[in-house]
Structure 1
């Protein structure tokens, strides 16, 4: 998985994506999602490190089968809130 962390005025923004979706565009009806290097690029990490990043996140964008599955398994995302976008899955996290 590829993880990026950025401090914003709203808190820590974490992006996580599967290695194989970086640079891809996914479409599903009215939804189009492009997984750009600029936004999702970062360091390749293991699942434990990705989960640690999500635990510290104020905001997270998660793309890919494995990345979304990890977020659901670790309790950060409810399965009912996961979007199917083309051939991949996408979820967002926002702690208020």
Structure 2
């Protein structure tokens, strides 16, 4: 999976996606999701490192079956809050 960290003021944003989705655009249900290289493509890391990264951020933007499933398994995302756009899982999380 690709993971990239962005900072905006006091917010630390984790952008993560399954590697096979990078550079693609998905549409469905009146929504469009662009998995851009500039936002998502950072380090290619294993699941264990992704789990650690999730612990130190305030916002997460997650795309793909693998990335979203790990976030659900770790209790960071409720399955009820996952949307699908063009058959691709997507979740946005703000940690308070």
Runs of 4+ in structure 1 over 4 Å off:
none
Query: Aligned-pair distance for 1:29?
Result: 2.0
Equivalent residue for 2:44? 44
In the alignment, structure 2 segments of 5+ residues that lack a partner are none
- Distance (Å, rounded) in 1 between the aligned partners of 2:80 and 2:29: 19
Tell me, which stretches of 5 or more residues in structure 1 are unaligned?
A: none
- The alignment partner of 1:93 has SS state of strand
RMSD of Structure 2 on Structure 1 (CA): 0.9
CA distance in 2: counterparts of 1:7 and 1:64, whole angstroms: 22
Q: Which residue of 2 aligns with 1:20?
A: 20
Match of 1:64 in 2: 64
Number of residue pairs matched by the alignment: 96
